[in-house]
Amino acid sequence: MIGFEKVAVVYAEALLAAAVDAGPVTELEEDIAQLNELFHKDPDVWAFFKSPIIEVDGKLSLLSKTLKGKVSDTLYSFLCVLCVRRRFELFPDIVEQVKTLLDHHLKRKRVQVFSAVALTPEHSAELQGALKKRLNMDVVLEVHEKPDLIGGLVVRTGDLKEDSSIKDSLARMAKALTGKRILGEKYYA
């Protein structure tokens, strides 16, 4: 699997370099994520494009009919290259690598936020501002609802993990209490 990961990085670097040469890269991330979702929305579509049995010309023809003129020329050409080189099955891995490379290129950091309930846009903006100030760089929030947290937040990026969830607080309290003898030594004898 590591070999495929390295190949995905090479393709992602090539796509990003071509996108930088073509102009602003801010649209690339959104376009490539939408395409990945589109390809995986219908299992038959994904099976068609990653199949080694289906001829390259058929894939190129479908790409031309459905995407030419609707995505950037750079991205369209890239998808054609993946078809010709029979590397389309790497597309999801390439998408993830492009995200990582774009984050580095745009000097930003992805932060995963886990919350018991959906964050309001105001709370998201406030959290993003606080994290931007703390990390000293632009921040992209990836918010996930996780009802078992009961309340509070878990914020994770790289080595940083801040856990202010009620679940974690209760777990720490339980751990602290299990080591204490509340009623005195005579009671436990």
Residue 182 corresponds to which amino acid? I
Residue 149 sits at φ, ψ, to 5 deg, of -75, -15
List the pLDDT tens digit at each of the 189 positions of the chain: 457 789 999 999 999 999 999 888 888 988 999 999 999 999 999 999 999 999 999 999 999 999 999 999 999 999 999 999 999 999 999 999 999 999 999 999 999 989 888 889 999 999 899 989 988 999 999 999 988 878 878 888 887 788 777 887 788 777 777 766 666 666 655
Pair 88, 51: CB distance under 8 Å: no
Angle at Cα 102 formed by Cα 101 and Cα 106, nearest 5°?
125
Exposure class string for 67-95: b at 16+ Cβ within 10 A, else e = beeebbebbbebbbebbeeebbebbebbb
Pair 151, 165: CB distance under 8 Å: yes
